[in-house]
Amino acid sequence: MSKLQNDLFIRACKQKSVERTPIWIMRQAGRYLPEYRAIRERYDFLTMCKSPEIAAEITIQPVDIIGVDAAIIFSDILVIPEAMGMPLEMLEGKGPVFPKPIRSWDDAKQLKELTPEKDLKYVLEAVALTKKGLDNRVPIIGFCGSPWTLLTYMVEGRSSKNFDNVKSLIYNDPKLAHFILDKLADAAADYLSTKIEAGVNAVQIFDTWGGVLTQVAFKEFSLEYISKVISKIKRNGEPVIVFSKGVHYKLDGLAKTGADVLGLDWTMDLHKAKKTLKGKTALQGNMDPCILYADNDAIKKEAKKILKSFGNGEGHIFNLGHGILPDTDPEKVKTLVSFVKEESKKYH
Protein backbone atom coordinates (compact mmCIF):
# COMPACT_ATOMS: atom_id res chain seq x y z
CA MET A 1 0.00 0.00 0.00
CA SER A 2 1.31 3.41 -0.87
CA LYS A 3 2.00 5.69 2.04
CA LEU A 4 -0.14 8.66 3.07
CA GLN A 5 1.68 12.00 3.10
CA ASN A 6 -0.53 13.25 5.93
CA ASP A 7 -1.76 10.44 8.20
CA LEU A 8 -2.43 12.59 11.30
CA PHE A 9 -6.14 11.71 11.21
CA ILE A 10 -5.47 7.95 11.12
CA ARG A 11 -2.86 8.20 13.88
CA ALA A 12 -5.25 10.21 16.06
CA CYS A 13 -8.02 7.63 15.48
CA LYS A 14 -5.62 5.01 16.85
CA GLN A 15 -4.54 7.28 19.71
CA LYS A 16 -0.99 7.33 18.40
CA SER A 17 1.31 10.27 18.75
CA VAL A 18 0.79 13.28 16.45
CA GLU A 19 2.54 16.66 16.07
CA ARG A 20 -0.79 18.50 16.07
CA THR A 21 -4.52 17.72 16.29
CA PRO A 22 -6.04 16.75 12.90
CA ILE A 23 -9.24 18.45 11.77
CA TRP A 24 -12.00 17.67 9.28
CA ILE A 25 -15.60 18.89 9.17
CA MET A 26 -18.76 16.79 9.01
CA ARG A 27 -20.64 17.61 5.78
CA GLN A 28 -17.52 19.41 4.50
CA ALA A 29 -18.31 18.35 0.91
CA GLY A 30 -21.39 20.45 0.33
CA ARG A 31 -23.44 23.56 -0.11
CA TYR A 32 -21.45 26.13 1.92
CA LEU A 33 -18.79 25.94 -0.81
CA PRO A 34 -19.45 28.10 -3.92
CA GLU A 35 -17.42 25.51 -5.85
CA TYR A 36 -20.01 22.86 -4.86
CA ARG A 37 -22.94 25.12 -5.70
CA ALA A 38 -21.49 25.84 -9.15
CA ILE A 39 -21.66 22.11 -9.99
CA ARG A 40 -25.01 21.71 -8.21
CA GLU A 41 -26.54 24.34 -10.52
CA ARG A 42 -26.03 21.95 -13.42
CA TYR A 43 -27.06 18.62 -11.86
CA ASP A 44 -29.52 17.34 -9.30
CA PHE A 45 -28.13 15.91 -6.08
CA LEU A 46 -28.63 12.22 -6.85
CA THR A 47 -27.10 12.56 -10.31
CA MET A 48 -24.06 14.06 -8.60
CA CYS A 49 -23.88 11.13 -6.16
CA LYS A 50 -24.17 8.67 -9.04
CA SER A 51 -21.50 10.30 -11.24
CA PRO A 52 -18.14 9.11 -9.91
CA GLU A 53 -16.13 11.93 -11.56
CA ILE A 54 -18.36 14.58 -10.01
CA ALA A 55 -18.49 12.86 -6.62
CA ALA A 56 -14.68 12.59 -6.56
CA GLU A 57 -14.27 16.24 -7.52
CA ILE A 58 -16.60 17.39 -4.73
CA THR A 59 -14.90 15.06 -2.25
CA ILE A 60 -11.52 16.67 -2.96
CA GLN A 61 -12.78 20.30 -2.92
CA PRO A 62 -12.54 20.85 0.85
CA VAL A 63 -9.02 19.35 0.95
CA ASP A 64 -7.83 21.90 -1.62
CA ILE A 65 -9.94 24.85 -0.52
CA ILE A 66 -10.21 24.49 3.26
CA GLY A 67 -7.11 22.45 4.09
CA VAL A 68 -8.76 19.66 6.10
CA ASP A 69 -6.76 16.59 7.13
CA ALA A 70 -9.18 14.00 5.67
CA ALA A 71 -11.57 13.70 2.74
CA ILE A 72 -15.06 12.20 3.12
CA ILE A 73 -16.58 10.57 0.05
CA PHE A 74 -19.40 12.72 -1.32
CA SER A 75 -22.58 10.62 -1.21
CA ASP A 76 -25.53 10.21 1.15
CA ILE A 77 -26.65 7.77 3.83
CA LEU A 78 -29.87 7.16 1.86
CA VAL A 79 -28.17 5.48 -1.10
CA ILE A 80 -28.52 2.16 0.81
CA PRO A 81 -32.35 2.14 1.03
CA GLU A 82 -32.50 3.43 -2.54
CA ALA A 83 -30.32 0.54 -3.70
CA MET A 84 -32.56 -1.85 -1.74
CA GLY A 85 -35.45 -0.81 -3.94
CA MET A 86 -37.00 2.32 -2.38
CA PRO A 87 -37.37 5.17 -4.90
CA LEU A 88 -35.74 8.31 -3.42
CA GLU A 89 -36.45 11.93 -4.30
CA MET A 90 -34.48 14.92 -3.11
CA LEU A 91 -36.91 17.82 -3.05
CA GLU A 92 -35.69 21.39 -3.17
CA GLY A 93 -36.09 22.93 0.27
CA LYS A 94 -37.66 19.77 1.71
CA GLY A 95 -34.81 17.30 1.77
CA PRO A 96 -35.04 13.59 1.05
CA VAL A 97 -38.41 11.91 0.41
CA PHE A 98 -39.30 8.23 0.03
CA PRO A 99 -42.73 8.38 -1.66
CA LYS A 100 -43.40 4.75 -0.64
CA PRO A 101 -42.35 4.45 2.99
CA ILE A 102 -42.13 1.06 4.69
CA ARG A 103 -44.91 0.51 7.19
CA SER A 104 -45.89 -3.17 6.90
CA TRP A 105 -44.42 -6.69 6.65
CA ASP A 106 -45.40 -6.72 2.97
CA ASP A 107 -43.43 -3.50 2.37
CA ALA A 108 -40.45 -4.84 4.32
CA LYS A 109 -40.35 -8.15 2.50
CA GLN A 110 -39.95 -6.29 -0.78
CA LEU A 111 -36.61 -4.82 0.30
CA LYS A 112 -33.90 -6.36 -1.84
CA GLU A 113 -30.72 -7.77 -0.39
CA LEU A 114 -27.90 -5.32 -1.13
CA THR A 115 -24.99 -6.32 -3.36
CA PRO A 116 -22.76 -3.25 -2.99
CA GLU A 117 -20.33 -4.26 -5.78
CA LYS A 118 -23.26 -4.08 -8.19
CA ASP A 119 -25.91 -1.82 -6.63
CA LEU A 120 -23.53 0.83 -5.32
CA LYS A 121 -20.79 0.47 -7.89
CA TYR A 122 -20.87 4.21 -8.50
CA VAL A 123 -19.67 4.89 -4.94
CA LEU A 124 -16.84 2.40 -5.29
CA GLU A 125 -15.81 4.09 -8.53
CA ALA A 126 -15.92 7.46 -6.77
CA VAL A 127 -13.57 6.05 -4.10
CA ALA A 128 -11.12 4.85 -6.77
CA LEU A 129 -11.18 8.23 -8.58
CA THR A 130 -10.81 10.14 -5.31
CA LYS A 131 -7.82 8.01 -4.42
CA LYS A 132 -6.24 8.80 -7.75
CA GLY A 133 -7.05 12.51 -7.47
CA LEU A 134 -5.76 12.83 -3.91
CA ASP A 135 -2.61 10.88 -4.64
CA ASN A 136 -2.21 9.96 -0.96
CA ARG A 137 -2.26 13.57 0.28
CA VAL A 138 -4.80 12.79 3.05
CA PRO A 139 -6.81 9.76 4.16
CA ILE A 140 -10.29 9.05 2.77
CA ILE A 141 -13.32 8.41 4.99
CA GLY A 142 -16.23 6.24 3.84
CA PHE A 143 -19.56 6.39 5.67
CA CYS A 144 -23.02 4.95 6.14
CA GLY A 145 -26.06 5.67 8.28
CA SER A 146 -26.72 3.55 11.36
CA PRO A 147 -29.52 1.02 10.83
CA TRP A 148 -31.76 3.00 13.21
CA THR A 149 -31.14 6.33 11.44
CA LEU A 150 -31.86 4.71 8.06
CA LEU A 151 -35.04 3.15 9.47
CA THR A 152 -36.33 6.57 10.56
CA TYR A 153 -36.20 7.87 6.97
CA MET A 154 -37.53 4.63 5.49
CA VAL A 155 -40.58 4.55 7.78
CA GLU A 156 -41.28 8.29 8.06
CA GLY A 157 -40.67 8.76 4.33
CA ARG A 158 -39.06 12.14 5.02
CA SER A 159 -37.31 14.21 7.68
CA SER A 160 -39.46 14.19 10.79
CA LYS A 161 -39.98 16.23 13.95
CA ASN A 162 -41.55 13.69 16.28
CA PHE A 163 -40.69 10.39 14.59
CA ASP A 164 -44.27 9.28 15.24
CA ASN A 165 -44.43 6.64 12.49
CA VAL A 166 -41.15 4.94 13.28
CA LYS A 167 -41.76 5.07 17.03
CA SER A 168 -45.23 3.72 16.52
CA LEU A 169 -43.60 0.84 14.63
CA ILE A 170 -41.07 -0.04 17.37
CA TYR A 171 -43.77 0.02 20.06
CA ASN A 172 -46.52 -1.75 18.08
CA ASP A 173 -44.56 -4.28 16.08
CA PRO A 174 -41.00 -4.52 17.42
CA LYS A 175 -40.48 -7.77 15.48
CA LEU A 176 -40.99 -5.95 12.20
CA ALA A 177 -38.60 -3.17 13.27
CA HIS A 178 -35.97 -5.80 14.16
CA PHE A 179 -36.53 -7.60 10.86
CA ILE A 180 -35.73 -4.43 8.89
CA LEU A 181 -32.90 -3.31 11.19
CA ASP A 182 -31.22 -6.66 10.80
CA LYS A 183 -31.33 -6.40 6.99
CA LEU A 184 -29.96 -2.86 7.21
CA ALA A 185 -27.10 -3.93 9.49
CA ASP A 186 -26.06 -6.60 6.99
CA ALA A 187 -26.31 -4.12 4.13
CA ALA A 188 -24.33 -1.42 5.98
CA ALA A 189 -21.56 -3.85 6.99
CA ASP A 190 -21.22 -5.20 3.44
CA TYR A 191 -21.23 -1.70 2.04
CA LEU A 192 -18.51 -0.44 4.41
CA SER A 193 -16.44 -3.58 3.76
CA THR A 194 -16.51 -3.04 0.00
CA LYS A 195 -15.65 0.63 0.45
CA ILE A 196 -12.63 -0.39 2.53
CA GLU A 197 -11.66 -2.84 -0.18
CA ALA A 198 -12.02 -0.03 -2.73
CA GLY A 199 -9.55 2.05 -0.74
CA VAL A 200 -11.09 4.17 2.03
CA ASN A 201 -8.83 4.48 5.07
CA ALA A 202 -11.51 4.83 7.77
CA VAL A 203 -15.29 4.64 8.05
CA GLN A 204 -17.88 6.62 10.00
CA ILE A 205 -21.35 5.45 11.04
CA PHE A 206 -23.79 8.37 11.32
CA ASP A 207 -26.39 7.71 14.01
CA THR A 208 -27.94 11.13 13.64
CA TRP A 209 -31.25 10.15 15.25
CA GLY A 210 -30.02 7.88 18.08
CA GLY A 211 -30.83 10.64 20.56
CA VAL A 212 -34.58 10.68 19.90
CA LEU A 213 -35.06 7.29 21.60
CA THR A 214 -35.54 6.47 25.28
CA GLN A 215 -32.39 5.06 26.87
CA VAL A 216 -33.84 1.54 26.85
CA ALA A 217 -35.06 1.79 23.24
CA PHE A 218 -31.71 3.23 22.14
CA LYS A 219 -29.96 0.09 23.32
CA GLU A 220 -32.46 -2.24 21.67
CA PHE A 221 -33.04 -0.46 18.36
CA SER A 222 -29.83 1.44 17.68
CA LEU A 223 -26.83 0.36 19.77
CA GLU A 224 -27.25 -3.38 19.14
CA TYR A 225 -27.26 -2.83 15.40
CA ILE A 226 -24.27 -0.49 15.43
CA SER A 227 -22.42 -3.32 17.23
CA LYS A 228 -23.61 -5.78 14.61
CA VAL A 229 -22.40 -3.57 11.76
CA ILE A 230 -18.97 -3.08 13.34
CA SER A 231 -18.52 -6.77 14.15
CA LYS A 232 -19.25 -7.68 10.51
CA ILE A 233 -17.04 -5.11 8.75
CA LYS A 234 -14.11 -6.74 7.00
CA ARG A 235 -11.19 -4.49 7.71
CA ASN A 236 -7.48 -4.47 8.09
CA GLY A 237 -6.87 -1.91 10.82
CA GLU A 238 -9.06 0.81 9.24
CA PRO A 239 -10.60 2.76 12.15
CA VAL A 240 -14.37 2.93 12.72
CA ILE A 241 -15.94 6.18 14.00
CA VAL A 242 -19.40 6.18 15.55
CA PHE A 243 -21.29 9.48 15.75
CA SER A 244 -24.43 9.01 17.83
CA LYS A 245 -26.00 12.43 18.26
CA GLY A 246 -27.58 13.22 21.62
CA VAL A 247 -26.45 10.03 23.33
CA HIS A 248 -24.18 11.48 26.03
CA TYR A 249 -25.51 9.04 28.66
CA LYS A 250 -24.20 5.98 26.82
CA LEU A 251 -20.56 6.63 25.95
CA ASP A 252 -19.45 3.42 27.68
CA GLY A 253 -21.99 1.38 25.71
CA LEU A 254 -20.93 3.05 22.47
CA ALA A 255 -17.28 2.22 23.23
CA LYS A 256 -18.26 -1.44 23.60
CA THR A 257 -19.56 -1.55 20.02
CA GLY A 258 -15.96 -1.90 18.88
CA ALA A 259 -15.72 1.71 17.66
CA ASP A 260 -12.20 3.16 17.62
CA VAL A 261 -13.49 6.73 17.79
CA LEU A 262 -16.66 8.29 19.22
CA GLY A 263 -17.99 11.49 17.69
CA LEU A 264 -19.40 13.92 20.24
CA ASP A 265 -22.06 16.54 19.60
CA TRP A 266 -21.61 20.05 21.03
CA THR A 267 -23.80 19.47 24.08
CA MET A 268 -21.25 17.03 25.46
CA ASP A 269 -18.19 17.88 27.53
CA LEU A 270 -14.99 16.66 25.90
CA HIS A 271 -13.05 16.61 29.17
CA LYS A 272 -15.74 14.60 30.96
CA ALA A 273 -16.08 12.19 28.03
CA LYS A 274 -12.31 11.62 28.05
CA LYS A 275 -12.44 10.88 31.78
CA THR A 276 -15.40 8.52 31.40
CA LEU A 277 -13.85 6.59 28.54
CA LYS A 278 -10.34 6.30 30.00
CA GLY A 279 -8.74 5.80 26.59
CA LYS A 280 -11.15 3.10 25.39
CA THR A 281 -11.72 5.16 22.23
CA ALA A 282 -10.41 8.31 20.63
CA LEU A 283 -12.80 11.30 20.53
CA GLN A 284 -13.96 13.46 17.65
CA GLY A 285 -15.63 16.83 17.92
CA ASN A 286 -17.27 18.93 19.11
CA MET A 287 -17.69 22.60 18.19
CA ASP A 288 -21.22 23.93 17.79
CA PRO A 289 -21.59 24.51 14.02
CA CYS A 290 -23.27 27.87 14.80
CA ILE A 291 -20.02 29.23 16.28
CA LEU A 292 -19.00 29.64 12.63
CA TYR A 293 -21.60 32.43 12.39
CA ALA A 294 -19.54 34.45 14.90
CA ASP A 295 -16.46 36.60 14.16
CA ASN A 296 -12.94 35.19 13.88
CA ASP A 297 -11.99 36.07 17.47
CA ALA A 298 -15.01 34.23 18.86
CA ILE A 299 -14.26 31.23 16.65
CA LYS A 300 -10.65 31.08 17.84
CA LYS A 301 -11.70 31.48 21.46
CA GLU A 302 -14.11 28.56 21.17
CA ALA A 303 -11.57 26.39 19.32
CA LYS A 304 -9.05 27.12 22.10
CA LYS A 305 -11.61 26.03 24.72
CA ILE A 306 -12.23 22.75 22.91
CA LEU A 307 -8.53 21.96 22.52
CA LYS A 308 -7.94 22.80 26.16
CA SER A 309 -10.91 20.70 27.24
CA PHE A 310 -9.36 17.60 25.64
CA GLY A 311 -6.00 18.77 26.96
CA ASN A 312 -2.63 17.11 26.56
CA GLY A 313 -2.31 13.75 24.91
CA GLU A 314 -3.38 11.71 21.95
CA GLY A 315 -6.71 10.61 20.54
CA HIS A 316 -8.49 13.87 19.61
CA ILE A 317 -9.78 14.68 16.15
CA PHE A 318 -11.13 18.21 15.90
CA ASN A 319 -14.52 18.47 14.19
CA LEU A 320 -17.87 20.17 14.58
CA GLY A 321 -20.51 18.58 16.81
CA HIS A 322 -22.76 18.03 13.75
CA GLY A 323 -22.69 18.90 10.04
CA ILE A 324 -21.63 22.33 8.85
CA LEU A 325 -24.61 24.53 7.99
CA PRO A 326 -25.15 25.51 4.34
CA ASP A 327 -25.00 29.28 4.94
CA THR A 328 -21.58 29.17 6.65
CA ASP A 329 -18.91 31.47 5.22
CA PRO A 330 -16.04 29.30 3.87
CA GLU A 331 -13.55 31.97 5.01
CA LYS A 332 -14.57 31.29 8.62
CA VAL A 333 -13.95 27.60 8.10
CA LYS A 334 -10.48 28.32 6.72
CA THR A 335 -9.78 30.46 9.79
CA LEU A 336 -10.87 27.65 12.10
CA VAL A 337 -8.81 25.01 10.30
CA SER A 338 -5.57 27.00 10.24
CA PHE A 339 -6.05 28.11 13.84
CA VAL A 340 -6.56 24.53 15.09
CA LYS A 341 -3.51 23.35 13.15
CA GLU A 342 -1.32 25.96 14.86
CA GLU A 343 -2.86 26.17 18.34
CA SER A 344 -3.03 22.40 18.87
CA LYS A 345 0.75 21.86 18.63
CA LYS A 346 1.25 22.67 22.29
CA TYR A 347 -0.91 19.75 23.40
CA HIS A 348 1.29 17.15 21.69
Please state whether the peptide bond connecting residue 286 to the residue before it is cis, i.e. omega within 30 degrees of 0: yes
Partners of residue 283 on adjacent β-strands:
262, 316
Own/partner pairs for 15-18, CB < 8 Å, 24+ apart?
15/279, 15/282, 15/314, 15/315, 16/314, 17/314, 17/348, 18/314, 18/348
How many residues at the interface with ligand CP3, by CB under 6 A? 22
Cβ proximity to ligand CP3, 29 vs 270, nearer residue? 29
Binding mask 91-110 for ligand CP3 (x = CB under 6 A): ----xx--------------
Cβ proximity to ligand CP3, 174 vs 211, nearer residue? 211
Tell which positions 232-251 bind ligand CP3, by CB under 6 A: none
293 is catalytic: no
Shortest CA distance to 143 belongs to which of 75, 232, 65? 75
Cβ proximity to ligand CP3, 75 vs 227, nearer residue? 75
CA distances to 8, 121, 295 from 51, in Å: 30, 10, 37
327 is catalytic: no
Distance CA 151, CA 248 (A): 21
Instruction: Name the segment binding ligand CP3 (CB under 6 A); options: 12-20, 89-97, 131-139, 272-280.
Output: 89-97
For residue 48, which amino acid is it? M
153 is catalytic: yes
Out of 148, 206, 221, 339, point to the residue binding ligand CP3 (CB under 6 A): 206
Instruction: Name the segment binding ligand CP3 (CB under 6 A); options: 76-84, 170-178, 259-267, 327-335.
Output: 76-84
Instruction: Name the segment binding ligand CP3 (CB under 6 A); options: 21-29, 63-71, 185-193, 280-288.
Output: 21-29
Phi, then psi, of 103 in degrees rounded to 5: -130, -5
208 binds ligand CP3 (CB under 6 A): yes
Neighbour order of strands in the sheet with 202-207: 71-72, 140-145, 202-207, 240-244, 261-263, 282-287, 316-320
Out of 12, 54, 71, 74, point to the residue binding ligand CP3 (CB under 6 A): 74
- The distance of closest approach from Cβ of residue 243 to ligand CP3 in the complex, given in angstroms and rounded to an integer, is 8
**CA dihedral angle for residue 161, residue 164, residue 165, residue 166, rounded to 10 degrees:** 80
Own/partner pairs for 91-100, CB < 8 Å, 24+ apart?
94/158, 94/159, 95/158, 95/159, 96/153, 96/158, 96/159, 97/157, 97/158, 98/153, 98/154, 98/157, 98/158, 99/157, 100/157
- The distance of closest approach from Cβ of residue 289 to ligand CP3 in the complex, given in angstroms and rounded to an integer, is 10
Cβ proximity to ligand CP3, 159 vs 276, nearer residue? 159
Q: Which one from 27, 69, 190, 225 is the annotated catalytic residue?
A: 27
139 binds ligand CP3 (CB under 6 A): no
Cβ proximity to ligand CP3, 315 vs 321, nearer residue? 321
Binding mask 305-334 for ligand CP3 (x = CB under 6 A): ------------------x-----------
29 binds ligand CP3 (CB under 6 A): yes
28 binds ligand CP3 (CB under 6 A): yes
Contact residues for ligand CP3 (CB under 6 A)?
26-31, 40, 45, 72, 74-78, 90, 95-96, 143, 159, 206, 208, 323
